[in-house]
Amino acid sequence: MVFQVFFILMMLKISAFCEGLSNKIRSNTRAELGMEAILSNGLFNSNAQKVELKLSLSEGGMKYSEGNYFSRWITKSKYSEAMDSQDLRNYQNSQYFGKIEVGTPPRKFVVIFDTGSSSVWIPSIECKHKGCEPHNKYDPKLSTSYQKLGDGSLETYIQYGTGSCVLKFGKEVINIGKLKIEDQSFGMAIEESTSPFAELPFDGLVGLGFPDKNSKKNNIPTIVENIKERNILPRNLFGVYISRDSSIPGSISFGAADPKYTISGQKITWHRLTGSHYWEIKIKDIKINGVSTNYCFGDCKAAIDTGSSVSTAPSSFMRKITKVIPMEGECNRYLSSPRITYVIEDIHGNEIEMHMDPQDYVIDEGGPSFNAFNYYWGPQEHYCSIGYIPLDIPAPRGPLFVLGNNFIRKYYSIFDRDNLMVGFTLAKHSKYGPMFISLSSNSESVLKMATFGITIILSLLLFIIY
């Protein structure tokens, strides 16, 4: 089940990343899908503390003031009460779910907080399709705070590579923990295809990305824009922690980063966004065991994506990786796998090295081996694979690397909307778990996902080519 969820989600995200997606809009309104990023910025706090990011603005741009380390930033503050933090359920190290409340009286929905998309959507009571059956549904008639968006006729049909849905738009009160966001535009799914939505263990999505073309064209503000416009938070920033052990929840905090998930004394490195489409940064080089791959030449791009279980890379780069790291095989083959290093320029122009060791990028999948590219079962009874998949995103959005949860699991990530930056620092894990991350404890899940993976790969090829 978990592998089905993983590949399904990757397919949904790939569909949103690529511009060639098939879109239709009812009521003569055209929506153009795209994954762009929008989020918040701010402070660092715990319940009784503020950990303040001491940035100053000048004509020369942003610069640090004294106190670059967490140990120097902890102070008492009224802002400590403004931070909202909630646990994210760790679903077998594959996805991390949180909760929101929608309407008056509030109704709970389980969602993924996704920095790779910008829309908020949940299933509607009008949906009679099997894809909606297992999920919580929203009924506007039961909410006193529901408002139509415009004349109520705006609907968007989205055709993904492995399914489709129809969204109808409205406005509501949405609560994320202590945050109350009024007049928030959101989508109500009135149709969802059986595959994949009937199999997904969450109800909907909260996009924390920048506005896509549909949002801009129809004047639909993202939830992050709304939070900023209403001055709900002292700083428009949020921090994300991804746990290593499935028994330990992850976390997302709004208005501040949470020092509980960071290592005392570790510096935060800040990196400017390179575009307006994603939480996207510039990669100057990628090294394997300290040796340059001579791939980027100072000009690669990477999107930081909380909605992706693993990371992606252009197929031309994957060919370089797989010369030294096998795509899959017996787990003991990976014990001496090389270190992968991303060289990322910070806001001062310094080259910062972000390391990914085997325990960060290798996935222990258990069960018999299946090679999804050559379609054969291997003889191993226990096997591993690397947490990277090839993905060629066409220009002008691509080529693009996607750094997903395996990267965020190692580096606590801070998304600063006000200053258009992302920050990274080593994450602190209370429980480390096994050496290699396991995406499932059920070998049956491996078999199901392997079969499903073939259809994903084939639909990907068709999607990219056409």
Please name the residue that has the structure tokens 């921090």. 239
Q: For residue 305, indicate whether it is catalytic.
A: yes
Catalytic residue among 212, 285, 305, 360: 305
**Residue 299: active-site member:** no
| Displacement of CA 42 from its chain's centroid (Å) | 19
Q: Which one of the listed residues 114, 203, 212, 360 is annotated catalytic?
A: 114
Q: Which residues are catalytic?
A: 114, 305
